[in-house]
Structure 1
Amino acid sequence: MTTGSVLLASVPTSVWIGNQQLPGSTGTTFEVVNPATGNVLAVVADATATDGAAALDRAAAAQKDWAATPARERSRILRRAWEVVVERRDEFALLMTLEMGKPLIESHGEVSYGAEFLRWFSEEAVRINGRYTESPSGSGKILVTKEPVGPTLAITPWNFPLAMGTRKIAPAFAAGCTVIVKPAAETPLTMLLLAEVFRDAGLPDGVLSVLPTTQASELTAPMLADPRLRKLTFTGSTAVGKTLLKLAADRVLRTSMELGGNAPFVVFDDADIDAAVDGAVAAKMRNTGEACTAANRIYVDNAIRTEFSGKLAERMAALSIGPGDVEGTQVGPLISDNQLRKVDSLVADAVEKGAVIETGGAQLGKIGYFYLPTVLTNVTADARIVKEEVFGPVAAIVGFDGETEGVAAANDTEYGLAAYIYTQNLDRALRVSKAIESGMVGINRGIISDVAAPFGGVKESGLGRESGSEGIAEYLETKYIALP
């Protein structure tokens, strides 16, 4: 029996309500597939609205006691969960590689990143502060307190199966909120394993439920309509986010939305070209390009575009592609055949409109969902790949002339999550970072995510911020008490 088989045999595959596995209200199941092989990894219970109601019953019943639990105790549970995830890092990493496809080295990186949210918010739990002041008019005193929002529904994506869960669960627990997680149907196993970790860390019954499902809207709509649910946090596409916001509006439900991105990577004529190429590979190829922060539109000043394009194509062509659990793999499969077809159609559209394929541009093999790392040059402004989030290993290069044109191109999108700037001029870096319409800007670096920094976007990339000291505020209500 392989290591993967032993691991999969020990991972929960039922709905997780309260602190226990349950078969699901109907007994129906769905298959979780390894994107590197197309083979079935596990058969998982398919949660229904009945299961959602049971989970919300438990969350609502546990909310008062969990909110009253001393902050130090909530901190201790989060800290212990961090310790257990770190202890079991190899299991989590292999599980993510098997169900999502990313190379093991990246899965290990996600374990470190995802676990760190547990540690960070274990420390933030004991630093929830209010204030007490005299009224400026002298008419009384002002007492401001922070209280947990209440039962929370967290909907997480497939591309970072651990980190996108811990980034929501950890601040919610730190604030004193109970949580129901609806993980992506493509990658439910990692979140189910995390639920087991929280149980072992001493989390009280009812505080966390995990509901894998292929019937997302049928499961979540009744919960969103239920007055006991007080918070929705979602990471995923802008289209789905807009639908959820409309549903949440009926009850003026507290929401935070981390939505789509179309990140510009702007290389100015004074940039260190080799450093910019390194940054572009990091920003483009993290998670095989399946990241909302991935560099989607690479704008390069025409004065250096030919040199930059050649060096980037050489680097991308040299990347090792294959199953994530094979040693030395740098690029894994895409999550599904649908995603593979989408990437290929975006490349075909760009080529039809005049783009040149410098390397890649095709599916690799007949088994699994592999797409060759690709560099496109001469990409036109009307190409779909400039307007749509590719979510794959394709770097689309567009030339520009001068700072004003570069900034205008970067801002020519309805999205505003992440942006990247390469320049050796500090004044330009600060000037451009202020001018670019984005919630996050990386200057001369291709990886910007940091547990201690606020993560989120502007425009149609979302509402609110996750991580950093700002992250816990999304799960707290402010109450003003007027004293004589």
Structure 2
Amino acid sequence: MSAHQDHRIPQDTPRSLLIGGAEQAGSAGTFEVFNPATGEAITSIAEAGTEQGIAALDAAVDAQESWQSTAPRERAELLRAAFDEVQRRSDDFARLMTLEMGKPLAESRAEIAYGSEFLRWFSEQAVRVTGRYAPTPEGSLRQLITKRPVGPCLLITPWNFPLAMATRKIAPALAAGCTVVIRPASSTPLCTLLFGKVLADAGLPAGVVNVITGRDHAVTDAVLADPRLRKLSFTGSSPVGQKLGAAAARHSLRTSMELGGNAAFVVFGDADLDAALEGAKLAKMRNMGQACISANRFVVHESLAEEFTSRFSEWMSSLTVGDGMDAGTTVGPLISTSARDDIAALVDRAVAAGAHLECGGRVPEGAGSFYAPTVLSAVAPDAEIMTTEIFGPVAPICTFSTEQEALQIANSVPVGLAGYVFTQDFDRIQRFAARMETGMLGANTGLFSNAAAPFGGVKESGLGREGSFEGIEEYLDTIYVALPDPWR
């Protein structure tokens, strides 16, 4: 077997829970993690029982006072040390990510670079948490405004970005002085387990970060029901987020959620078509379309639609579908055969409803959860495939004639995470920024995620922001102390 087809995980990848600084076997036994490219089990890891979820919270509660009293500079240096170690071990993380999630190695390496930046960014923000001291307007009091960590946090991460979703949540929590229980998706727990080891190796005190793995939702429910928990951060689907939000409301938890998306990719008649196509490639096919900010609906001006469709279909047809460990692969598998089958059925229904299949639309033969990159044209703006988050390598295209029509199509769904607009009219960009119902807008770019930028949505796409200066605020309470004015 050649090196690029070696499906062994890095030798020191943990398979155990991390609770209070100690590795533990799962009280509920073990479960298998599968490679979606082959359908074969990679390894077995610990399955936490409900009592271990509570034990992880016990450890976080016990460590909270000491960690929040740790000097900001020390917290910053630990995060920076973790950044350096992730960088040093980037090949191990990339290999592990491709094996458990499926994305091509080149994309895994890009995620390591992106995900590790949250460690560096929030290492720099840990020492910049400030308050203020000011008189009240009438001068009778002085306001002392300070910040303090919210306390123990439960972080629930999705499968599609196994490292970046962990670092984007853990880094600001630690920078703010919060302790953590993190539960990664059961499909892709290995990167988070290895990251927990990296944090411990960097010198993070026991109990500050605790990792529990498993499939039983009762474990999460038990932690959420405990009044000692003070914050929930979740990334995933809108329906699951709404259920978790209802559970979090029982104890009025601080809550931040990044939920589903259905991004419109709008191309106006005056757009630079080459730039729009390059943006479309990035916005659609990053992670095989399995990203919450993936371009889900292509809304193209009628004057450019034919050429855009032809050229985009030609490029999609040229992509190489295969095992992410193979050097020539540009499109890996979907996360599971059930996800693939759902997408295949969605495409079949779209074609039956009148959409034109430009390319793809088929399940390749052989093992693995692969689906051919697909372009559909002549799609109605209100078709099922336009109003459903596809989460795969499928690009439906509809047309429009006026700016108002394009905006109406873009805003016609209940979610509002991200959108894209390509035009050379700067005033039009400003109008879309003001009126497009999304938390993020890519203007003449198909890639905008950055640790220094606030990530999050509006409407049913969630609450709060991750990254940037706003990211650390999600883990801080604002405290107001009223003092007599010393001059009165």
1:36 corresponds to 2:34:
no
Residues 381-428 of structure 1: CA deviation (Å, up to 9, x unaligned): 342211110000000001111101001000000010000000011111
Select 1:14's aligned residue among 10, 13, 16.
Answer: 16
The alignment's C-alpha RMSD in Å is: 1.1
**Corresponding position of 1:338:** 338
**Corresponding position of 1:352:** 352
Quick one: which amino acid aligns to residue 95 of structure 2? Answer: L
**Corresponding position of 2:110:** 109
Secondary structure of 1:371's aligned partner: coil
Deviation, structure 1 residue 287: 0.3
Matches of 2:432 and 2:157 in 1, distance apart?
Answer: 32
Mapping 1:43-122, distance limit 5 Å: 43-122=44-123
Residues 68-127 of structure 1: CA deviation (Å, up to 9, x unaligned): 000000001000000000000000001000000000000000000000000000000000
Matches of 2:241 and 2:289 in 1, distance apart?
Answer: 21
Q: Which deviates more, 316-325 or 145-154?
A: 316-325
**Corresponding position of 1:476:** 476
Matches of 2:134 and 2:102 in 1, distance apart?
Answer: 54
Q: Which deviates more, 265-274 or 375-384?
A: 375-384
> Is the Cα–Cα contact under 8 Å of residues 8 and 41 in structure 1 kept in the other structure?
no
Aligned in 2, Cα 1:207/1:356: closer, same or farther, shift over 3 Å?
A: same
> Is the Cα–Cα contact under 8 Å of residues 417 and 458 in structure 1 kept in the other structure?
yes
Matches of 1:148 and 1:348 in 2, distance apart?
Answer: 50
Deviation, structure 1 residue 273: 1.2
Quick one: which amino acid aligns to residue 156 of structure 2? Answer: I
User: Structure 1: where are the runs of 5+ without partners?
Assistant: none
**Corresponding position of 1:139:** 140
Secondary structure of 1:470's aligned partner: helix
**Corresponding position of 1:411:** 411
**Corresponding position of 1:371:** 371
> Is the Cα–Cα contact under 8 Å of residues 418 and 438 in structure 2 kept in the other structure?
yes
Mapping 1:246-257, distance limit 5 Å: 246-257=246-257
Secondary structure of 2:57's aligned partner: helix
Matches of 1:5 and 1:376 in 2, distance apart?
Answer: 35
> Is the Cα–Cα contact under 8 Å of residues 268 and 301 in structure 1 kept in the other structure?
yes
Matches of 2:2 and 2:86 in 1, distance apart?
Answer: 22
Deviation, structure 1 residue 435: 1.3
Residues 193-225 of structure 1: CA deviation (Å, up to 9, x unaligned): 00000000000010011111111x201111111
> Is the Cα–Cα contact under 8 Å of residues 85 and 197 in structure 1 kept in the other structure?
yes
Matches of 2:153 and 2:169 in 1, distance apart?
Answer: 10
Residues 439-473 of structure 1: CA deviation (Å, up to 9, x unaligned): 00000000110110000000000000000111000
Matches of 2:251 and 2:117 in 1, distance apart?
Answer: 33
> Is the Cα–Cα contact under 8 Å of residues 102 and 331 in structure 1 kept in the other structure?
yes
> Is the Cα–Cα contact under 8 Å of residues 7 and 99 in structure 2 kept in the other structure?
no
Counting aligned pairs with the same residue, the percent is 54
Quick one: which amino acid aligns to residue 199 of structure 2? Answer: F
Mapping 1:234-245, distance limit 5 Å: 234-245=234-245
Quick one: which amino acid aligns to residue 285 of structure 1? Answer: M
Matches of 1:5 and 1:33 in 2, distance apart?
Answer: 11
> Is the Cα–Cα contact under 8 Å of residues 349 and 383 in structure 1 kept in the other structure?
no
Mapping 1:239-318, distance limit 5 Å: 239-318=239-318
> Is the Cα–Cα contact under 8 Å of residues 8 and 42 in structure 2 kept in the other structure?
no
Matches of 2:8 and 2:386 in 1, distance apart?
Answer: 44
Mapping 1:117-196, distance limit 5 Å: 117-196=118-197
TM-score (norm 1): 0.98
Deviation, structure 1 residue 431: 1.2
Aligned in 2, Cα 1:382/1:403: closer, same or farther, shift over 3 Å?
A: closer
Quick one: which amino acid aligns to residue 338 of structure 2? Answer: N
**Corresponding position of 1:388:** 388
Aligned in 2, Cα 1:368/1:5: closer, same or farther, shift over 3 Å?
A: closer
Matches of 2:130 and 2:211 in 1, distance apart?
Answer: 30
Secondary structure of 1:105's aligned partner: helix
Q: Which deviates more, 381-390 or 114-123?
A: 381-390
> Is the Cα–Cα contact under 8 Å of residues 10 and 92 in structure 2 kept in the other structure?
no
Matches of 2:285 and 2:364 in 1, distance apart?
Answer: 17
Quick one: which amino acid aligns to residue 150 of structure 1? Answer: G
Segments of 4+ moved more than 4 angstroms: 1-6
Question: How many aligned positions are there?
Answer: 482
1:324 corresponds to 2:327:
no
Matches of 1:46 and 1:7 in 2, distance apart?
Answer: 19
Deviation, structure 1 residue 6: 5.5
> Is the Cα–Cα contact under 8 Å of residues 19 and 209 in structure 1 kept in the other structure?
yes
Deviation, structure 1 residue 20: 2.0
TM-score (norm 2): 0.97
Q: Which deviates more, 379-388 or 36-45?
A: 379-388
Matches of 1:435 and 1:2 in 2, distance apart?
Answer: 53
Matches of 1:9 and 1:449 in 2, distance apart?
Answer: 32
Quick one: which amino acid aligns to residue 24 of structure 1? Answer: G
Matches of 1:287 and 1:483 in 2, distance apart?
Answer: 53
